[in-house]
Amino acid sequence: MLERRKFLQHSLLGSLAVLVGKNKIQAATGLSPASMVKPVVISTWAPNSKANLAAWKILSANGRALDAIEKGIHVTEADPTDQSVGYGGLPDRDGKVTVDSCVMDEKGNCGAVMCLEHILHPVSVARLVMEKTPHVQLVGEGALKFAVSEGFEKVNLLTPEAEKAWRNWLKASKYDPMITVEHLEERNRKNKVKPGQQNNHDTIGMLAIDMSGNLSGACSTSGMAFKMNGRVGDSPIIGAGLYVDNEVGAATATGVGEEIVRVCGSHVVVEMMRNGHSPEEACKKAIERIVKRNGIEKAKELQAAFVAINKQGEVGAYSLIAGFTYAVHTPDGAYTREAKHLL
């Protein structure tokens, strides 16, 4: 009986949402629109659906969004086939795998590690920076020292495949954010990226709303392949690679980090949602800023993409050029999709 009542409430809310708009539902029914879709998890890039699945196990058992996201991101960080994140990530031009990660919770707490070496799960170190230090960001040696003091084991993140790719790259030593060396093409084939849409971006940004209606997010990457040693992109920068405002929504990014930092991308997306835009529209607005700054011709040579979720559990995404995919898991099931793109 209770189940049936819940079902009727749900359907009624669904129809009302179409008829009067979600903001008016609360006034009309006294029921929070946030109760409509939750829990939900969304990640950058379709192959991260397996990370979503790990997050889903926690979310669907009434777990906290931040715990779900941390466990979800562990899956990608430990996956040697993802050459943009953690173990198996492509190194910098000195042959070093340096990782960047950040987390942000429903209270606006945040933590980050940048240019960290030898640690399999940077997302967990970022979380401890947030929870156990008076700081928001730790970099390089200091971040490693902190990780080791917290019991993290030092490991070698450079796989034989990534080392081979680096040695290959050294022959021409040309830094290209849209790099198309053979192994990346091979991976794109595996990921069913269409010809002409190759990219070297598989960073995981993950956002979730839990059953309590709380939002959190995290991002983890080994950064742009063959970057300069010491280079940090958008992924561990709060406001650029990730932003969460529990009253409004959350956003995260992937793509050429320098471009995302320059427009403070994820913060823009959240502010656009605050101004009433849907998650997809909000992501598009941030992409438009990148295009405006660069001009269309230069922008066509770049990739940048955002995914977003709002307080109602609605999700959306948008990318600069074609080929950006994302993965979602909701109570209605899991799906992956290619985002709309501007150019």
Helix (H, G, I), strand (E, B) or coil at 108: coil
101 binds ligand SD4 (CB under 6 A): no
Q: Which of residues 99 and 120 has its CB atom nearest to ligand SD4 in the complex?
A: 99
Q: Which of residues 84 and 312 has its CB atom nearest to ligand SD4 in the complex?
A: 84
201 binds ligand SD4 (CB under 6 A): yes
Q: Give the Cα separation of 146 and 125 in Å (integer).
A: 8
Q: Binding ligand SD4 by CB under 6 A: which of 83, 221, 246, 252?
A: 221
255 binds ligand SD4 (CB under 6 A): yes
Q: Which of residues 84 and 214 has its CB atom nearest to ligand SD4 in the complex?
A: 84
81 in active site: no
203 binds ligand SD4 (CB under 6 A): yes
Q: Which of residues 188 and 221 has its CB atom nearest to ligand SD4 in the complex?
A: 221
47 binds ligand SD4 (CB under 6 A): no
Q: Binding ligand SD4 by CB under 6 A: which of 224, 270, 328, 339?
A: 224
Please provide residue 327's backbone torsions phi and psi, each rounded to the nearest 5 degrees.
-125, 135
Q: CA nearest 159: which of 94, 78, 105, 103? A: 78
239 binds ligand SD4 (CB under 6 A): no
Half-sphere exposure of 129 (CA within 13 A, CB side): 28
Q: Give the Cα separation of 173 and 175 in Å (integer).
A: 6
Q: CA nearest 119: which of 179, 160, 78? A: 78
Contacts with ligand SD4 in 48-87 (CB under 6 A)? 84
233 binds ligand SD4 (CB under 6 A): yes
Q: For 258-262, which contacts have Cβ atoms below 8 Å and span 24 or more sequence positions?
A: 258/233, 258/234, 259/290, 259/293, 259/294, 259/302, 259/304, 260/233, 260/234, 260/290, 260/304, 261/233, 261/234, 261/237, 262/290, 262/293
How distant, in Å, are the alpha carbons of 23, 79, 295, 306, 327 from that of 237? 32, 23, 25, 14, 22
88 binds ligand SD4 (CB under 6 A): no
Contacts with ligand SD4 in 13-32 (CB under 6 A)? none
Q: Binding ligand SD4 by CB under 6 A: which of 239, 257, 279, 316?
A: 257
- Residue from 44, 203, 221, 254 carrying the catalytic annotation: 203
Of 15-23, 103-111, 124-132, 232-240, the segment contacting ligand SD4 by CB under 6 A is 232-240
Backbone torsion region of residue 25, taken as left when φ is above 0, otherwise alpha when ψ lies between -120 and 50, otherwise beta? alpha
Number of chain residues interacting with ligand SD4 (CB under 6 A): 14
- Return the residue nearest ligand SD4 (CB atom): 257
Say how many C-beta atoms besides its own lie within 10 A of residue 276's C-beta: 9
Contacts with ligand SD4 in 275-334 (CB under 6 A)? none
Interaction site with ligand SD4 (CB under 6 A): 84, 201-203, 221, 223-224, 233-235, 254-257
Active site residues: 203
